[in-house]
Chains A and B, each alone.
Chain A
Amino acid sequence: MRVMAQLAMVMNLDKCIGCHTCSVTCKQTWTNRQGTEYVWFNNVETRPGLGYPRRYEDQDKWRGGWRLDRRGRLRLRQGGRLHKLASIFANPVMPTLQDYYEPWTYDYRALTDAPLGEDYPVARPHSLITGRPMAVEWSPNWDDDLGGAPEHAAADPNVERLRKEVGERIRFQYEQSFMFYLPRICEHCLNPACAAACPSGAIYKRAEDGIVLVDQDGCRGWRQCVTGCPYKKIYFNHRTGKAEKCTFCYPRTEVGLPTVCSETCVGRLRYLGVLLYDADRVTAAASVADEHDLYEAQLGVFLDPEDPETRRAAERDGVPHDWIEAARRSPVHALISTYRVALPLHPEYRTLPMVWYIPPLSPVVEEVAAAGHDGEDAGNLFGAIDALRIPVDYLAGLFTAGDPGPVRAALDRLAAMRAHMRAVNLGRDPDPAAAEAVGLDATSIEDLFRLLAIAKYEDRY
């Protein structure tokens, strides 16, 4: 056992209102400069939708992350070292600016400076890359709030997969509308493909907190990391010729401040905390044969900070005492390991990502209620999960490599918590059956409620 500490994040998608405040505060703080106009370390995607860059989840095309070779060993999907050497000067699997979007501005000065004419002055769009007038035809958030418009949704790789597997179950029609938001930053993976892909060895994972960074001196601009990262969270600064990425706000976390995206999240849905993990188990966990086992495998890499042996080993391996204590209090640990309501994003990329998500619960009861049942009664509660507006299968495609089991389990726990708290709220006796059915009891369910609903600042970070 080799204990290491990792700063990790959980985002509760059930609370995300898709406001993009995180994107803006992050952009304002880190990337509103030349060379990074198109770069959003943090972005928010409406799902179903294409994401940013477009269809980044289509690894058949972009070849990010890891796969297992025939002998069951991890290989970068983009190809091995020799392949990369051959393509180092012309990496063919890079998203182009069109896949991100062509950043633009407007000739705002025309509004003030326009000479007397015949009509209102207007500021026209101009490319920030070429400086020429342009038509705005894509943006980093083009399909925002559309819930997958008829024109775009079918191209969502998750929808494509589902349609292949289960036919036309997802339809994009008025009454069947559904959507949710997926805020994304760098995953600061335990098994980062970007680092492995870098020919210059310029990408490193910090020993003390697991933050993955690009050494700005070491980067030679080969851009293999852009291909390697299956989440497309490494960006090429076209001005400096170097790769840049989310830094997990290390200048802030180092002094005890939450990341910008977390602290400015008005949905209060982001949790930061320390996780202890066994570095010796990373490779094996990333190499399990069945994709559906990756979630459990990654859970198996995490260590229980309440376990005295783990704590001793952590001290031995140089994890500071206050970090071990932080791991015990970590809301991230609680949501991922204790309550098991948070899930990794695309575990099938085998990078062991460290930004996890609580799947969105709502809306839950409409169809059940329409059939004459009260979806909040304990007896109907779990049946209602299958009647979710958001198909469980779609969520499973994001969080569990298509296995609906863990998604349903997480949603069941949230639903049970709600049913329990409704009884408390109205002064009734809660039915213990609901809590028991999800492996919790009244006390733990109320603790979970405190963490998810009350969510004080000091409990989130």
Chain B
Amino acid sequence: MGSRSGPEAEGVNVREPTSEPGAAFLRAGRFFRPGTPAPDLHSVRLTGGREADAFYRDRWSHDKVVYSTHGVNCTGSCRWKVFVKDGVITWETQATDYPSVGPDRPEYEPRGCPRGAAFSWYTYSPTRVRYPYVRGVLLELYREARARLGDPVAAWAELTGDPERRRAYQRARGKGGLVRAGWDEAVEIVAAAHVHTVKAYGPDRIAGFSPIPAMSIVSHAAGARFHSLIGAAMLSFYDWYADLPVASPQVFGDQTDVPESGDWWDAAYLMMWGSNVPVTRTPDAHWMAEARYRGQKVVAVSPDYADNTKFADEWLHPHPGTDGALALAMGHVILREFFVERTTPFFDDYVRRFTDLPFLVTLGERDGAFTPAKFLRAADLGDTGEGAAWKLAVLDEATGRPAVPNGSLGFRWTASGEGRWNLDLQGLRPRLTLYGEAAATPVEVLLPRFDTDGGEHGQGRGDTVRRGVPALRLEGGALVTTVYDLLLAQYGVGREGLPGRWPASYDDPDTPGTPAWQERHTSVPAAQAARVAREFARTAEESRGRCMILMGAGTNHWFHSETIYRAFLALLALTGCQGRNGGGWAHYVGQEKCRPITGWATLAGALDWSRPPRQAIGTGWFFLHTDQWRYDTYPADVLASPLGTGRFRGLATVDLLARSARLGWMPSYPTFDRNPLDLADEARALGRDPEDHVVAELRAGRLKFACEDPDDPANWPRVLTLWRANLLGSSAKGAEYFTRHLLGTHSSLRAREAGEDVRPRDVRWHARAPEGKVDLLLSLDFRMTSSTLLSDVVLPAATWYEKHDLSSTDMHPYVHSFAPAVDPPWQARTDFDAFHAIAARFSELAHGHLDTRHDLVATALQHDTPGETAQPGGTDLDWRDGACEPVPGATMPNLAVVERDYTAVAAKMASLGPLAERLGLPAKGVVLHPEEEIEQLKARNGVVRGGPADGRPALDTAVKACDTVLALSGTTNGRLATQGFHTLERRTGRELAHLAAEHEGRRISYADTQAAPAPVITSPEWSGSESGGRRYSPFTLNTEHLKPWHTLSGRQHFFVDHDWMHELGEALPVYRPPLDIHRLFGEPALGADGHKEVTVRYLTPHNKWSIHSEYQDNLLMLALSRGGQVIWMSAEDAAAIGVADNDWIEAVNRNGVVVARAVVSHRMPPGTVYMHHAQERTVNVPRAETGGRRGGIHNSLTRVLLKPTHLIGGYAQLSWAFNYLGPTGNQRDEVTVIRRRRQEVRY
């Protein structure tokens, strides 16, 4: 566009042509009016008269522009210009100053979406929390007790110790009646509650919930640091949100690592599978639109005609939740046509080097045939050296004998493994198949299937298939085959001469694996499935691995999602697409990559002062403490494989959770039925080693795990703090269980509890479930949400335009900053300042109540530490049953004693502690040593003088915290990245440090991130390379530099051999249909009842007009949508119950009730409704006809269902780490009844 020199004082006034009636006026008029008419009199040229246009120039004028971003859980991390005039934020527009990603590709500018563009509405909106609030009932009780007793802690102890007073304010939760309080008073109540709880019950009875550190790193770390310092538990969120793809730890040994959106451009074939990119990845969608112009073929897979299908060349619409069948059939076609019928050299080479397909698996006898058992290990071959139980074997093509290549876990933590933990085959060529091997003989294997009715196992759907594999009897007696041979059997790809039942052709509809079989389950035409598979593989071959599957919550929030994902990942690994630019999985579900992760982890876990922190599995915590386990009306073995051994028989799911905690697999807080401070004291008093004391007490049966009796008041969580989170309006699966049991207030829960026949065996059942476990629910927010409405204390938080902070995401490679455009208005404070205020008062009140105590901390066996080799063989030996001895750190949790000076919490929060350099900083199995950085931070941030933190670098402002995070992370500090790589080089024996060498001298500071988006540095904290300005794609370090994946084999896993994986029948990729809620819980069967009700699948995909609950109450977003809660339904379902567009309807199931307007659309498939995620009850929600209470949130109709395989731990990649592995809070399998309700509504 041309520049110009300013407004010219001229205009053209267009007039009508000369011959119409009235033209005479015009002709005459030119003598009376100024201006020069055009020759045709069609227009007249006037001069001047523009004075009033100043209005729009004034409107546009502003005083300053501040760069900030939005700290919302959306993966956007977009850079925005915030406009300020007269000290007031006026509006925002996107920044366009992203560093270029190269001359031959589109840029990241501008990043943003309508939600972000509407954010400034919140600043001065009437829903803004302006002051601290406390529920009036509580405040009066507290003031009275405080005045009488003089001591805040004593006051809190007394009023919560009195059942009547306690219930009085608990019952008032969510019913209005909040009153203003001053900051000092509100903080005192909060601090007193914390001190009392630590003292009376233990610090592990306190929990904090604040998700997605990356979305505002310092705000998260501030609160997490406070919790970590006092010994409270931080709850995980990624698994709780069901965003964690459990397949990723299973297959890759990685939490999640995905390409930045700029890498979509590199893909030659893009499948969007359950991910509605324009809606959920709005700032990134342009890459997808633009890459099509580069000839990228785009396929959308979604049950509805979703927004992204508009861009797709093909739309596949499987029935919801059946995607795994489609992916398996595609794998069937690829295996047949690209592996069996011909060898595709590119694929063949890839799977031998980078997957477990060539590894040998032992076969065990079963019912006259065999079943796959375990990987063959070096120990099975007589190796008695270190790590032999963790070294896996292949068959050497040259010798025909087993060989142990480098790279498996046995090389990772052993002294002898140094320099050998790599994927260098050193000339060894492993056999992919034993087919054709002279010594091999065909044997029949039994494999589970879950797609049929009948059979005594698993939802009444278990059955087996019998197929042949070539097997070899080794010296020593083990019968083995390869993972590849098992995979062909599993996928139903037969080969001449192998026994068993195989599909005759692609058209065989009865046998699992074929295109026709998948059509029966998914409705996707068999020919289309086969064609897409063929195109996919051909393109991968031709482009050398540039096929990408962009997968989303639509396929990831199911109970059996990891089976769906493993079938996807198989397609990518078979075709050599993983670890490539333009290829591989692109899982974008709630994953916001905290790029400066080590610095964040240090601050958030207070690892600089004390280790280990308490980090809990969110789903397990909520499942227990909201008592949802009491409503499991089916036994745990209902999901077991027909080939299982019955190890879950007689158990409830909660029993498995307790076992997982007992065995050290998953962390569990509160851990014991005793205050951990008292446990440490007892040991000291007895002069015993604390570990020995705990083991002795456990053995004697005097000490129990709290999760074995979660309803005992001694084991309740007592304080829960929410910040940067709206748990109760958003992620609280089973929202009505939360309000009844955790909070003790009104609820629309209608479910029945488990009958006596299916109650837990190991976990104690109380006749009556407790109501109101938590003494204090605190939230910090800038707007009124379902959570603040339920909170006892609400503190006014600063918005994202009112604070300093950092943000990053997986979608782009930059670190962004927040900066205050204005100071927090009214009495708002930043999270950083609020938690420092709480810590200060807490430390004061700790004098005399707590002082210095010792805390016995139990943690799980952890991934990326030697703890992942604690339990060889992947078994579940339970010391409680006498199967083994209770040994901390081996057969049960790690135990550690942490000294806590509770009076020094504030001082420690505000300074960087000495363990940072003394112990170094852990980063995925590598230790970073920040001695130099500590000295620089002292110079930059200043040094604390006097007190417990004397001489340490100051951390007393958010900017200092930002700079500390950046200084302590490899991605933002080239020296640490290089040092980390050098450490890794010693272990792998492969050159790596050159990847960061180009940036070794680079130190990204907060100021840098303010000046412009700061691109990050290649670091061992992640698995891909950005060297030379390349687009980030995960696992390129593995494929290009032969660094192993963090798995048992060091490769990507098709086969996962833990006992519990076998028990569930999921050792190999397999199709598991959605849960049958009708059979499990007695909900009506799907379909219309003929007049008033229709039962439908209930899905909660992400909303176009909000990101979780954020923006859902924003007036601009409400104006652009329907002004309140809606449920999308098909025209057919609407017609079945006489519902018209925008009618009020009710959705009812055992979990709760929702009142919403109907959106009737032919875009929706019959039998399925969408209630978009996190529609809150704060705006335009009337009372329900059913039950008469306020309608619920989207999660009022859901609840948590734990899957046992998510609880596995202590075994290679199946080991716990925070947000890395844990049970998911899946919610997609649910159904609901929809009714048309009375159209007159009452609020």
A contacts, CB < 8 Å to B: 2, 7, 14-15, 17-21, 23-25, 27-30, 32, 69, 71, 73-76, 80-82, 103-109, 111-112, 114-125, 136-137, 139-142, 144-147, 149-152, 172-175, 177-180, 191-192, 195-196, 201, 203-209, 213, 215-218, 247, 249-256, 258, 260, 263-269, 272-274, 279-280, 282-283, 287, 320, 322-323, 325-327, 330, 360, 362-366, 369-370, 375-376, 414, 417-427, 449, 452-457, 461
Contact of A116 among B13, B125, B172, B1131 (CB under 8 A): B172
- The answer for the CA separation of A19 and B14 in the assembled complex, in Å, is 35
- Number of residues in B with C-beta < 8 Å to the partner? 147
Q: Mark B543-571, 1 if CB is under 8 A from A, else 0.
A: 10000000000000000000000000000
A362 touching B310, Cβ below 8 Å: yes
Q: Is B985 an interface residue (CB 8 A)?
A: no
Contact of B113 among A21, A115, A370, A417 (CB under 8 A): A21
- The answer for the CA separation of A111 and B1183 in the assembled complex, in Å, is 16
Q: Is B31 an interface residue (CB 8 A)?
A: no
Q: Is B910 an interface residue (CB 8 A)?
A: no
B contacts, CB < 8 Å to A: 1-8, 10-17, 19-22, 25, 33, 38-40, 42-43, 45-46, 49-53, 55-57, 59-61, 90-94, 96, 104-107, 109-114, 116-118, 120-121, 125-127, 129, 133, 136-137, 172, 174-178, 268, 277-279, 282-283, 285-286, 289-298, 305, 307, 309-315, 317, 525, 527-528, 531, 539, 542-543, 746, 784, 786, 789, 1104, 1113, 1115-1116, 1118-1124, 1130-1131, 1140-1142, 1159-1166, 1177-1183, 1189-1190, 1243
B204 → chain A, closest Cβ, in Å? Answer: 31
Task: For B1160, list chain A residues within 8 Å (CB).
Answer: 149-151
- The answer for the CA separation of A254 and B319 in the assembled complex, in Å, is 53
B42 touching A21, Cβ below 8 Å: no
- The answer for the CA separation of A151 and B1135 in the assembled complex, in Å, is 12
Q: Given contacts A149-B1162, A196-B16, A283-B17, are A141 and B1121 in contact (CB under 8 A)?
A: yes
B111 touching A149, Cβ below 8 Å: no
Q: Given contacts A82-B21, A112-B784, A263-B93, are A24 and B12 in contact (CB under 8 A)?
A: no
B1162 → chain A, closest Cβ, in Å? Answer: 5
Query: Which of B129, B789, B1162: most chain A CB closer than 10 A?
Result: B1162
Task: For B10, list chain A residues within 8 Å (CB).
Answer: 206-208
B178 touching A112, Cβ below 8 Å: yes
A335 → chain B, closest Cβ, in Å? Answer: 13
- The answer for the CA separation of A180 and B311 in the assembled complex, in Å, is 9
Task: For A179, list chain B residues within 8 Å (CB).
Answer: 305, 310, 1163
A49 → chain B, closest Cβ, in Å? Answer: 12
A136 touching B114, Cβ below 8 Å: no
Query: Which of A21, A144, A456: most chain B CB closer than 10 A?
Result: A21
Q: Given contacts A24-B1116, A80-B20, A254-B7, are A362 and B46 in contact (CB under 8 A)?
A: no
A207 touching B45, Cβ below 8 Å: yes
B1141 touching A116, Cβ below 8 Å: no
- The 5 A-B pairs at the shortest CB distance, nearest first, are namely A422-B295, A326-B2, A116-B177, A114-B176, A81-B22
B286 touching A117, Cβ below 8 Å: no
A254 touching B4, Cβ below 8 Å: yes
B6 touching A254, Cβ below 8 Å: yes
A250 touching B51, Cβ below 8 Å: no
Q: Given contacts A251-B57, A263-B94, A449-B293, are A174 and B1165 in contact (CB under 8 A)?
A: yes
Can you list 24 A-B pairs with a CB-CB distance of less than 8 A?
A: A19-B282, A19-B1104, A24-B114, A80-B21, A80-B22, A106-B1113, A106-B1118, A107-B126, A108-B784, A109-B126, A112-B133, A119-B1189, A120-B175, A122-B1182, A172-B1162, A208-B4, A215-B52, A280-B38, A322-B3, A327-B2, A362-B292, A363-B313, A366-B313, A414-B293
Task: For B293, list chain A residues within 8 Å (CB).
Answer: 414, 417-418, 421, 449, 452-453
A123-B127, A205-B13 known; 7 new pairs, CB 8 Å cut-off, are A18-B278, A82-B22, A111-B127, A149-B1161, A320-B5, A363-B313, A424-B295
- The answer for the CA separation of A106 and B1177 in the assembled complex, in Å, is 13
- The answer for the CA separation of A399 and B21 in the assembled complex, in Å, is 31
B294 touching A421, Cβ below 8 Å: yes
B282 touching A205, Cβ below 8 Å: no
- The answer for the CA separation of A267 and B105 in the assembled complex, in Å, is 15
A123 → chain B, closest Cβ, in Å? Answer: 5
Task: For A360, list chain B residues within 8 Å (CB).
Answer: 310
B313 touching A19, Cβ below 8 Å: no
Task: For B1140, list chain A residues within 8 Å (CB).
Answer: 151
Chief secondary structure at chain A's binding surface: loop
Task: For B112, list chain A residues within 8 Å (CB).
Answer: 21, 264, 266
Task: For B543, list chain A residues within 8 Å (CB).
Answer: 425-426
Contact of B268 among A32, A149, A425 (CB under 8 A): A425
Task: For B314, list chain A residues within 8 Å (CB).
Answer: 363, 365-366, 369
Task: For B45, list chain A residues within 8 Å (CB).
Answer: 207
A266 touching B282, Cβ below 8 Å: yes
B278 → chain A, closest Cβ, in Å? Answer: 4
B801 → chain A, closest Cβ, in Å? Answer: 13
- The answer for the CA separation of A223 and B385 in the assembled complex, in Å, is 91
Q: Name the residue on B nearest A430 (C-beta).
A: B295
B16 touching A74, Cβ below 8 Å: yes
Q: Given contacts A28-B118, A111-B1178, are A250 and B53 in contact (CB under 8 A)?
A: yes
B531 touching A369, Cβ below 8 Å: yes
Q: Given contacts A80-B22, A112-B129, A174-B1164, are A323 and B106 in contact (CB under 8 A)?
A: no
B133 → chain A, closest Cβ, in Å? Answer: 7
- The answer for the CA separation of A349 and B133 in the assembled complex, in Å, is 58
Task: For B43, list chain A residues within 8 Å (CB).
Answer: 205, 279
Q: Name the residue on A nearest B1166 (C-beta).
A: A174
A122 touching B117, Cβ below 8 Å: no
- The answer for the CA separation of A76 and B1182 in the assembled complex, in Å, is 48
- The answer for the CA separation of A201 and B29 in the assembled complex, in Å, is 12
Query: Which of A2, A32, A172: most chain B CB closer than 10 A?
Result: A32
Q: Name the residue on B nearest A4 (C-beta).
A: B12
A204 touching B49, Cβ below 8 Å: yes
Task: For A322, list chain B residues within 8 Å (CB).
Answer: 2-4
B1157 → chain A, closest Cβ, in Å? Answer: 8
A288 → chain B, closest Cβ, in Å? Answer: 14
A77 → chain B, closest Cβ, in Å? Answer: 12
B52 touching A195, Cβ below 8 Å: no
A73 touching B176, Cβ below 8 Å: no
B7 touching A196, Cβ below 8 Å: no
B7 touching A108, Cβ below 8 Å: no
B1180 touching A106, Cβ below 8 Å: yes
Query: Which of A150, A260, A417: most chain B CB closer than 10 A?
Result: A150
A146 touching B789, Cβ below 8 Å: no
B11 touching A205, Cβ below 8 Å: yes
A28 touching B11, Cβ below 8 Å: no
Q: Name the residue on A nearest B314 (C-beta).
A: A366
- The answer for the CA separation of A320 and B1119 in the assembled complex, in Å, is 43
A28 → chain B, closest Cβ, in Å? Answer: 4
B93 touching A264, Cβ below 8 Å: yes
Query: Which of A151, A191, A375: most chain B CB closer than 10 A?
Result: A151
B295 touching A419, Cβ below 8 Å: yes
A363 touching B20, Cβ below 8 Å: no
A453 touching B305, Cβ below 8 Å: no
B7 touching A205, Cβ below 8 Å: no
Q: Given contacts A115-B177, A119-B1183, are A124 and B305 in contact (CB under 8 A)?
A: no
- The answer for the CA separation of A136 and B38 in the assembled complex, in Å, is 49
Task: For B1123, list chain A residues within 8 Å (CB).
Answer: 104, 125, 136, 139
Contact of A74 among B17, B294, B784 (CB under 8 A): B17
Q: Given contacts A264-B112, A268-B290, are A122 and B1181 in contact (CB under 8 A)?
A: yes
Contact of B60 among A29, A136, A375 (CB under 8 A): A29
Contact of A425 among B14, B42, B294, B525 (CB under 8 A): B294
- The answer for the CA separation of A254 and B53 in the assembled complex, in Å, is 13
Contact of B1120 among A23, A146, A267 (CB under 8 A): A23
Q: Name the residue on B nearest A451 (C-beta).
A: B293
B311 touching A362, Cβ below 8 Å: yes
Task: For A414, list chain B residues within 8 Å (CB).
Answer: 293
